[in-house]
Amino acid sequence: MSARRIRTLVLSSCLAFSLSWSPDAGLAPDLLAAPAADSLTVMSLNLAMQDDVDRLVAGIRLAGGGEADVLVLQEVVRTGDQPSVADRIAAQLGLEAVFQPSFKIGDDRSVGLATLSRFPIVDSRPLPLKKFSLGYRSRERTALRVTLDTPAGPLRTYNVHLDTRINGGDRVDQVADIIEDIDTGPGSALVAGDFNTNENLWLLHTIPLPFLGRQGSSLEHYMARHGLRSAFDGGATHDTLRMRLDWMFLKDMRATARAIHPTKVSDHHALLVSLTAAQRP
């Protein structure tokens, strides 16, 4: 049995075990089905600008991501000309990494997106998203598109971190360019990250009216209309008010196991999914 096959079996077993106790685990996996030879595992996690790499790696491993094939990370820090936190995590886990800075904090720290992969990275590029003038702390938002050469064929991954103080219609507008890019070519795609889908209605991008927005439902319906299904049916992904800020959407892929893990390294929870190619009719 190949090392990759063994790793897949071990991770699927860990996912199944974690789902037996996690209150936010979503749908249960098919416990009787053996993992497919072309299966892969993906973790998405907002690192909350933490820069203690050893602690982050320990947290990722504790949440089941140490053997993941792909890590999709947000709020990744780079200081000066040093390697980013994601590059240093990748070195410890034996992965390739792509880092894309999004904005700066102070004079020497950049914060951005990173995708780490056990598979060869075919190409990568930033995809600019619609910018909103929020009055203060307006950000340039991008998606990081990374194409991977997986056993199931090419997989386009889109790593995102969207604005907080926008409403459902604006949030859909901010992901529209991702949908347009996915539609330019065939094949499997994954869109994951921190979508910031809070349940507030924002007045003038400043004043929140709690529980008057249905941003998660609006986003999920929009993505489904364009052929991307959520890997989860529910579950909180943030410590505050049990909000569901983080998502993973799939095109031509099927989730066979999934779990949502609180971590000690971030206020966001880690999303962990085992995937295989979607079954054709």
**At 95, which CATH number?**
3.60.10.10
Boundaries of domain holding 194: 3-277
- Is the model's pLDDT at 19 over the cut of 50? no
Least confident of 23-32, 112-121, 132-141, 213-222: 23-32
Q: Are 130 and 173 in contact (CB under 8 A)?
A: yes
Sequence letter at residue 223? M
How many domains does the chain contain in total?
1
Question: Does the structure show a pLDDT above 80 at 4?
Answer: no
Task: Give the per-residue pLDDT at 28.
Answer: 40
Please list the residues that pair with 88 across neighbouring strands: none
Q: Does position 127 have pLDDT exceeding 60, yes or no?
A: yes
Q: What is the DSSP string of 15-77?
A: HHHHHTT-TT--SPP-TTSPPPTT-EEEEEEE-TT---HHHHHHHHHHTT-TT-SEEEEEEEE
| Rounded average pLDDT over 168-177 | 86
**Higher-pLDDT residue of 22, 144:** 144
pTM score: 0.85
pLDDT of residue 121: 97
Q: Are strands 201-203 and 188-194 parallel, antiparallel or unpaired?
A: unpaired
What distance in Å separates the CA atoms of residue 181 and residue 54, rounded to the nearest whole number? 36
SS3 call for 99? strand
Closest CA to 240 of 269, 220, 216, 264: 269
First CA to last CA across the chain, in angstroms? 30
CA 215 to CA 162: how far, in whole Å?
A: 12
Among 69-73, 146-150, 181-185, whose mean pLDDT is lowest?
181-185
Residue 37, amino acid = A
Strands (E) located in 106-150? 109-117, 121-128, 142-150
**Residues 157, 216, 254, 263, CA torsion sign:** positive
